[in-house]
């Protein structure tokens, strides 16, 4: 069961309507967002999935730490058979889709020369997690396949929430850090002339084929530009009516700078949709877990920061944006990625 925590904005913090039945009025529009909108797997499937993830997560994390203390030849002798077994299981049982938790194992292999061989003999998706060894390019190539799959699963859970919050999308839209352009479908839903242009800004060129496939699938009635550049290199001011931030600020090296650049591109009165996984409350076991696995997670996910206080970063970086946020805890996925802040921001006129 998902745990619906709260609704809030910059002024009142806690909503007077925790169930979202009558809706929340923000920027002259009523939004009805509540816990029941999340689409979750069946309890049995969810329990099996989370048990598997947790078991793999704990086992490989423990192995990684333990093997660091062993002599190199013993580490190689132990880890090589395990690495091959994991690769075989992934190929036969999971079709090559890697549970992120299993990749933590590879973090214990990136310090010693012989251990590197273990990584290199494993399937490419696992090999690429060691971007510091085999290069950022391969890591980016790997994530271009895995990220769209992850976003698709996330999209299934939050589909009705996204549909509600994006129902008034219009004008020129910037999908910042678009990945595989999972949000294009929502622009198509509301279009009928409402959306005039959609810019998918994604620096990772390996996502291009996935974005093009999305365009062919949804057949938008507006032009879609695919831009492989960083936001600071995009010229112009006040160009967009809407900006979409879909689980992207966790990967940006300098979020405050990126947000100020986005503010430059957003028209006065323009809206920003955001959906970001964030740091858990201080003092909780989940927050401690996020701190422990921050570095390993960044390696396996091509730079994603699992413990970033994204909501606070948005508020402090662009004070001329007024925010309305909804906080969700989902029972799906790794324990370090279960708190989501979803909402709308409006730029002052």
Edge to edge, the sheet with strand 321-329 lists 3-9, 321-329, 339-347, 266-277, 240-246, 171-176, 195-201, 224-227
pLDDT band at 300 (very low <50, low <70, confident <90, very high): low
| Residue 8 pLDDT | 53
Where does the pLDDT of residue 77 fall: very low under 50, low under 70, confident under 90, or very high at 90 and above? low
pTM: 0.72
Closest CA to 226 of 246, 209, 251: 209
* Highest mean pLDDT (candidates 135-139, 232-236, 281-285): 232-236
Percent helix, percent strand, percent coil in the chain, to nearest 5: 50, 20, 35
pLDDT of the residue at 42 = 72
304-331: pLDDT as tens digits: 899 999 999 999 999 999 999 999 988 7
Confidence of residue 15 (pLDDT cuts 50, 70, 90): very low
């Amino acid at each position: 069961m998902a745990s619906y925590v709260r609704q809030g904005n910059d002024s009142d913090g806690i909503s007077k309507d925790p169930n979202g039945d009558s809706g929340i009025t923000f920027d002259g529009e009523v939004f009805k967002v509540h816990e029941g909108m999340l689409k979750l797997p069946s309890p049995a499937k969810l329990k099996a999935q989370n048990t598997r993830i947790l078991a793999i997560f704990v086992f490989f994390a423990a192995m990684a730490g333990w093997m660091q203390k062993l002599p190199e030849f013993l580490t190689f002798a132990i880890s090589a058979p395990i690495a091959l077994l994991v690769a075989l299981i992934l190929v036969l049982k999971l079709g090559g889709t890697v549970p992120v938790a299993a990749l933590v194992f590879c973090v214990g292999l990136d310090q010693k020369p012989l251990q590197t061989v273990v990584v290199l003999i494993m399937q490419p998706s696992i090999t690429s997690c060691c971007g510091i060894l085999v290069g950022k390019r391969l890591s980016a190539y790997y994530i271009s396949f895995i990220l769209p799959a992850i976003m698709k699963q996330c999209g299934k859970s939050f589909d009705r929430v996204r549909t509600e919050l994006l129902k008034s999308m219009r004008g020129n839209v910037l999908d910042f850090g678009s990945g595989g352009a999972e949000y294009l479908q929502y622009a198509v839903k509301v279009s009928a002339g409402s959306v005039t242009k959609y810019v998918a800004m994604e620096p990772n060129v390996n996502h291009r084929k996935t974005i093009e496939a999305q365009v062919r699938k949804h057949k938008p009635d507006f032009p879609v530009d695919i831009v492989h550049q960083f936001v600071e290199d995009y010229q112009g001011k006040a160009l967009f009516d809407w900006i979409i931030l879909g689980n992207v600020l966790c990967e940006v090296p300098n979020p405050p700078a990126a947000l100020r650049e986005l503010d430059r591109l957003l028209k006065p009165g323009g809206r920003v949709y955001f959906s970001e996984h964030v740091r858990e409350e201080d003092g909780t076991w989940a927050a401690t877990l996020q701190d422990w696995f921050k570095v390993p997670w960044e390696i396996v996910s091509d730079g994603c920061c699992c413990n970033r206080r994204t909501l606070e970063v948005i508020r402090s970086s662009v004070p001329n944006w007024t925010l309305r946020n909804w906080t969700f805890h989902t029972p799906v996925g790794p324990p370090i990625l279960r708190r989501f802040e979803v909402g709308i921001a409006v730029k002052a006129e």
